[in-house]
Amino acid sequence: MHPHLLHDIGLCVIAATVMAYVARVARQPLILAYIGAGLIVGPPGFQWVRDQETIAQISELGLAFLLFIVGLEIDLKHLAKSGKVATVVGTVQVVVCAAMGWGVARALGYHGLPAVYLGAATAFSSTMIVVKLLSDRSELDTTSGRIVLGVLLVQDVLAIVVLAVQPNITHPEFGILAIATVKGLGLAAGALLVSRFVLPGLFRSVAKFPEIVLVSAISWCFLVSYAAQRAGFSVAMGALIAGVSISAFPYSLDVVAKIRSLRDFFVTLFFVSLGMQITSGSRSVYIAAAALSAVVVFGRFIPIMPTLRVLRYGHRVGILTSIALGQVSEFSLVIVSLGLAFGHIDRDLSSVVTLALVATSTLSTYFIQASQPFARGVAHFLERCGLRDPAAAGELNTQRHGGKVILLGCHRVGSSLIPMLIEKRTEILVVDFSPEILDTLRRQHIPCMYGDISRADTLEHAGIAEAEVLISTVSDDFLRGISNFALLRQLRRMNPTAKIIVSAERLETARSMYAAGADFVLLPRLEAATRVAQLVTGDEGTIAAAREKEIEWLRDRQETHV
């Protein structure tokens, strides 16, 4: 072992820690911090690390753990349920974006395998960054958020195909690729068969010993990775297959939780080593990185928006989905790193992809934060240009809607409210911009209208001025482009006499809403707390009796939220 190995690892970790604090303050992804640390301590910077090759070898463990956990978190049943929309959009997006990246690479003077690698690098988006940003903004449960998650799952599956083909890409003869395909399918099938008939019994026998469960899972990861190497594939592909094969086990979440800290340490070294490999070289590297970044950020709109339009999703969903997927993926770095190890590409091309990841991840952070007003503005512009929103098809612009009660937004509380109002034969109109919810409402013959409640023309078109009761039960966490307080003031101006019911999360906000003219303010957390207190104190009878009554009530209940 190199005598300075511990010294070099320590420097990498310290630099990564310092840069992580900087990234935290700047609200940037940690991946950028780790790559920046590599730039500082490696050859592009102060050259403090003396043994980059050993660091790179150790960081391969981080790559294996990273893909093992990615595999553990791929739910094949959830992938199947993501259905036609995610499969179609994801496949079209990967193919079209890869072709665009390849075309731009050719135009920049790259040919052969380098052009292919640059094309592949543009095809995939960062699950880590997207999920983190959408989760922070509470957008994972929106229509576009669910589509984005489905597309990311499809991308993961297609990335497995790329990893399987990669070792034999220099010999693209049909026979060699056929043999590689058979080997890959055999490896996956063998891993699934062992996980189906052998591993459950082994894991069950040690289920009471979490440490042995963890060691067993890691051992399975290394066994499949070794089998993948023997079959001519990469360690990364083996780790991914190992994770997918046991993802349905009841122990997988516990394994993920325990292995995550170990993974984080080695993944830190992996991204630091990538930063060390960036060449501060020719002008062409920066030009290529800028061009690749432009393809990734703006090229997502070209396949995604038309595809979602054909599938009858609105402009806003297409724009939000395109923005969310506009960054280079960690998978792209994995593919490029393996290509560098196989000798398919040089360090300059690896630097191009790494710089593109830094650029697109940084831009994506800000673009996603501004995605809602941008999507609203672009959608409005497209409508003014005569490009009608497909989600509003079937509704005439000249038609004026209305209802005794208008529900603005059909989220969780609203979904529960609708059947109660329908049961009482209340004349109701639901306004929402989720095509999935609107399709469900139409199948149930519930009057509904496509529209963005943050826009005054939508409210006017809905017949707000003639309604007797106006209701908004959607939390501010899920409203986009407007708050309940701003919506209340808008509704009160448009209809001074209607009864207005709105939702709030804080007591101060509720008081302000009453002062602004709300007739009633819902505080869901207080409603829930009141119910729990009644159960505990016995005001509603025994908990057992309340339980039986609740089960009976839930048995035949249906809601519209999807």
Residue 9 has pLDDT above 50, yes or no: yes
What are the Cα distances from residue 434, in Å, to 83, 251, 308, 392, 469? Answer: 17, 36, 13, 10, 22
How far is CA 171 from each of CA 182, 232, 335, 378, rounded to the nearest angstrom? Answer: 16, 13, 17, 46
Cα 96-99-100 angle, rounded to 5 deg: 85
Per-residue pLDDT of 113-123, as tens digits, reads 999 999 999 99
Domain(s) labelled CATH 3.40.50.720 in the chain stretch across 399-555
Average pLDDT, integer, range 100-104: 94
Confidence of residue 176 (pLDDT cuts 50, 70, 90): low
Q: Over range 35-59, report the average pLDDT.
A: 77
More confident position, 428 or 557:
428
pLDDT for 394 equals 46
Considering only residues 141 and 317, tell me which one the structure prediction assigns the higher pLDDT. Answer: 317
> Between residues 62 and 245, which one has the greater pLDDT?
245
The strand pairing partners of 469, in sequence order, are: 405, 499
pLDDT band for position 399 (50/70/90)?
A: very low
When pLDDT is cut at 50, 70 and 90, the band that residue 83 belongs to is: low
Fold of 79-258+282-378: Na+/H+ antiporter like fold (1.20.1530)
Amino acid 137: pLDDT: 72
Instruction: List where CATH 1.20.1530.20 sits in the chain.
Output: 79-258+282-378
3-state secondary structure of 447: coil
Residue 192: pLDDT above 80? yes
Q: Which residues on neighbouring strands pair with residue 503, listed in sequence order?
A: 522
Q: Residues 6 or more apart from 559 whose CB is under 8 A from it?
A: 415, 416, 418, 419
Which range scores top for mean pLDDT: 30-34, 269-273, 416-420, 513-517?
513-517
Choice between 170 and 252, residue whose per-residue pLDDT is larger: 170
Q: Return the pLDDT at 325.
A: 93
Share of the chain above pLDDT 90, in %: 20
User: What is the predicted pLDDT for the residue at 513?
Assistant: 93
101-105, 260-264, 424-428 — which is least confidently predicted? 260-264
99 or 56: which carries more pLDDT confidence? Answer: 99
Residue 291, pLDDT > 90, answer: yes
Give mean pLDDT, residues 366-385: 82
Q: Looking at the predicted structure, is the pLDDT value of residue 515 above 90?
A: yes
Query: How far is 79 from 86, CA to CA, in rounded Å?
Result: 9
Query: Average pLDDT, stretch 353-371?
Result: 84
Confidence of residue 519 (pLDDT cuts 50, 70, 90): very high
Question: Which pLDDT score is estimated for 256?
Answer: 64
- pLDDT for position 114: 92
Beta-bridge partner residues of 472: 502
Give the model confidence (pLDDT) of 449-483 as tens digits.
Answer: 877 788 777 788 788 888 899 999 888 877 877 88
Model pTM? 0.68
Asked if the model's pLDDT at residue 303 lies above 90, the reply is: yes
CATH number of 399-555: 3.40.50.720
Q: Provide mean pLDDT across the span 403-426.
A: 85
